[in-house]
Amino acid sequence: MDGTMRSLPALIFLVAAACVAAPDSQAQTTFSVIFENALLVDGTGAPPVITDVGVVGDRIGALGDLDHRPAARRIDATGLVVAPGFIDIHSHAVGGGATGSLAARPIAENLIRQGVTTVFGGQDGSSPWPIGEALAYFDANPAAVNVGLFVGHGTLRAMAVGLENQPASDPALRTMTEMVTRAMEEGAFGMSSGLEYAPGMFATRSELTHLAKATAPFGGLYISHVRDEGGGLMDSVEELIAIARGAGVAGQLTHHKIIGKHRWGGTEESLARVDAVRDEGVDVTLDVYPYTASSTGLTILFPGWSKDGGLAALQERLRDPELRARIREEVIAHINSERGGDPKTIVAASCPFDASLAGKSLARMAEDKGLQPDVPTAADQAIDLVLQGSCQGVFHSMSDDDVTRVLRSPHAMVASDGGVPEFGRGAPHPRSYGTFARVLARYVRSMDALSLEDAVYRMSGAPAARLGLTDRGVIRPGMRADLAVFDPATVQDNSTFLAPHQYASGVIHVVVNGTLVLDEGRITGTRPGRPLRRHP
C-alpha cells in the first residue's frame, strides 16, 4: 500500500475527529443504535478489530465496549463487518439531465444493497447546470444516499462554444472559466471531462488546462475519461498528467482500462507511468470498475469528425451516400482494431426506439435479419441504429488480468460508472447493481487479490481523502454515521450481463447520516441523504 495515500487520509481523519466533539463524551449519552461485537474495518486500511460501534444522531458516537451504555436499539453484529459506507467517486446517478436517475428513483435500492452511501455525479464531461440548483434540488428532495457533483466540461463547452469542432474563442474561454468558478463556489468538487465524446473531444489541452486551473483555489479535482483507452492510451495518460501539472491540481484517470485484445497487458505501462509521475510530485490517481466490459453510447464506434455538431449532424452525414460510405469504413476499422473484430462483443443495453433490442449483440441483430454476422454487416447495423436515435451499448473488450492489475494499484479506488436504472427495463451493465459487492466477493473472498481492509479502504477512506471529505469515509467518533454492515462470507454481486436486474446480497444493514436505510436486509424507504458541497 502506498504510504502517501495512506498517510493523507489518516491525517485528515485524525484532525477531523479531534475537531468534532464526540457525542459519547457524556456518560448519560443514549445511542440511537449500537452494533455489538462487530468486525470493524474502519476505512483506513488498518487491520480489522472486534468492537462495538455506537451511533448518536448523525455521528459515530463511540467505539469500544458499549455493553452497559443506554441505546434505543442494539444489533448483534457478530460475524458481520461494519465498514464506512462506500463512496462511488464516479457515478451517473446524477448526470447531464436536470438531476438524473437518482431523482427518478431516490430510494436507490441498487446502491443501498451494495453498501453505497454516497455518489459523485457530473461525470465524463456531462453535468447538471447550474450546479447550485442541482444540489438545491436534493436539499428539497433528499435521496437515500448523499450526493456530490463535478461540473462537466462538455456541458460548459456546449453552452459557450457549441457542439461543433472549433476552438474556443477568448470570450468563450472567459465564459467557461467564469462558469467553472461559479460551479466551484456553489459546491462542485472539481471538473470532469469526457474526451472521447463530442464536444469534449474538440477541446485542446490548453483549454482544458486553463479551465482546470480555475478549480485550483478550491482544491478541485480534474477527473477525466481520457481521449483514447485503446491504442492512444499512453498519449491520453500523458495529456491528463500535463493538465494536472499545468493547472496545479490533482488529476484522476477515471475508469482506467485498456481495450483491444491485442493490447491486453498495456496497463503495466500506464500504471508504471502513474507511479513515476507521482514520484515527481504530480498528484495523479485512478479509479476502476471490476468488469471486463464497458458501457457507453453506440456512437463511440464512429469517427470523431463525423460527430462534429452532435448526433443530429452525424445522422445528416449518414444520409449522404458518399459520407456514409466513408463513415462505414471507419466503423469497420474501429470494430476490428478496438473490439477484436467480433460483433458479438457489442451489445445493445437500451434503445429508446425499440425495447426488444436490449441485450442483443450486433451479430445477433444481423442474424435475426438473415444476414451474415460479420464486421461489415455489424457496421451497417450500427449505422441503422444511430439513424433511429442511437442506443446505449455494452462493449466486451478488456481482460480480467488488466482489471485486477489496475484494482491492485496503490493509487486506485473503486467506482461503478453506473447509475440507478429502472428495475427490469433494458439490459444495463451489471456494474450499476454489483460493483462494490463484486469487489468483496470476487477480488477479496474468491481471488484473494485484495485484503478485506484494503478493499474497504479503496471504497471509502481513499475516495473520501481524494475528494477532501473530512467527516466521512472512516469510522471514528465524531465522523458522520454512514455505515455498511455486511457478511463477508456471503456478500455477493448477482447481476450478470445476461440477467442484469438482480440486486446484490449479503449487505444486512446500511446507515446514512445515522438513519437506517437498509435494516435486516429490508429497504426502509427513508431518505436521509444530503447534498455535499466542496468548499476550500
342-394 pLDDT tens trace = 999 999 999 999 999 999 999 999 999 999 999 999 999 999 999 999 999 99
**Same structural domain, 407 and 356:** no
With CA atoms as reference, report the closest residue to 457 among 416, 413, 506. Answer: 413
Low-confidence ranges of the chain (pLDDT < 70): 1-28, 96-100, 536
Domain ends where: 434, 455, 476? Answer: 455
What local confidence, expressed as pLDDT, does residue 535 receive? 78
Q: Do residues 402 and 276 share a domain?
A: yes
How much is the pLDDT for 95? 78
Q: Give the rounded distance of the alpha carbon of 442 from its chain centre.
A: 19
Residue holding cell 489496475? Answer: 406
SS3 333: helix
Provide the greatest CA pair distance for the chain: 80
Tell me the residue ranges of DSSP E strands in 277-342.
Answer: 284-288, 293-297
| Predicted local confidence at residue 518, as pLDDT | 98
Q: Quick count: other Cβ atoms within 10 Å of Cβ 358?
A: 18
C-alpha R_g of the chain = 23
Is residue 223 situated within a structural domain?
yes
Distance (Å, whole) CA 406 – CA 383 = 34
Shared-domain flag, residues 156 and 133? yes
Residues 193, 284, single domain; the answer is yes
Contact between 382 and 331 under an 8 Å Cβ cutoff? The reply is yes
Nine cell digits for residue 32: 440511537
Of 455, 482, 499, the residue that ends a domain is 455
Residue type, 2: D
* CA distances to 204, 249, 272, 425, 494 from 96, in Å: 22, 24, 33, 20, 29
Amino acid at site 373? P
Q: Which domain holds residue 224?
A: 84-292+398-455
* Residue 346: strand, helix, or coil: strand
pLDDT at 16: 38
316-351 as b/e: b if 16+ CB within 10 A = ebbeeeeebeebbebbbebbeebbbebbebbbbbbb
Predicted pLDDT at 153: 98
Same domain, 224 and 265: yes
Note the pLDDT tens digit of each residue in 80-107. 999 999 999 999 999 764 346 999 999 9
Tell me whether strands 151-152 and 190-194 are parallel, antiparallel or unpaired. parallel
Residues 252 and 135 reside in one and the same domain? yes
Is the same domain home to 145 and 258? yes
20 is a domain residue: no
User: Locate cell 491520453: which residue?
Assistant: 236
For residues 313 and 272, state if they share a domain.
no
Domain presence at residue 482: no
Give buried/exposed letters for 25-42 (b at 16+ CB in 10 A, else e). eeeebebbbbbbbbbbbb
Give the number of domains in the chain. 2
> Cα 32–37–39 angle (5° rounding)?
105
H or E element that contains 393: strand 392-396
In a domain, 99, yes or no: yes
Write out the three cell numbers for 9.
487520509
- We report the CATH number of the domain holding residue 226 as 3.20.20.140
In the prediction, which pLDDT does 9 show?
40
Alpha carbon 115 to its chain centroid, in Å, reads 14
User: Is 35 part of any domain?
Assistant: no
Task: Give the integer Cα–Cα distance in Å for 184 and 218.
Answer: 7
Q: Is residue 72 part of a domain?
A: no
What pLDDT was estimated at residue 29?
84
pLDDT score of 340: 85
Interaxial angle between packed helices 153-160 and 170-185, expressed in degrees from 0 to 180 and rounded to the nearest 10:
140
Model pLDDT, residue 476? 98
Residues 213 and 276 in one domain: yes
Q: Given this model, what pLDDT does residue 12 score?
A: 37
Same domain, 420 and 391: no
* Domain end among 408, 432, 455: 455
* Domain-located, residue 67: no
Say if residue 241 is in the same domain as residue 304.
Answer: no
Give the whole-angstrom CA distance, residue 187 versus residue 189: 6
Q: Are residues 102 and 201 in the same domain?
A: yes
Task: Confirm whether 27 is domain-assigned.
Answer: no
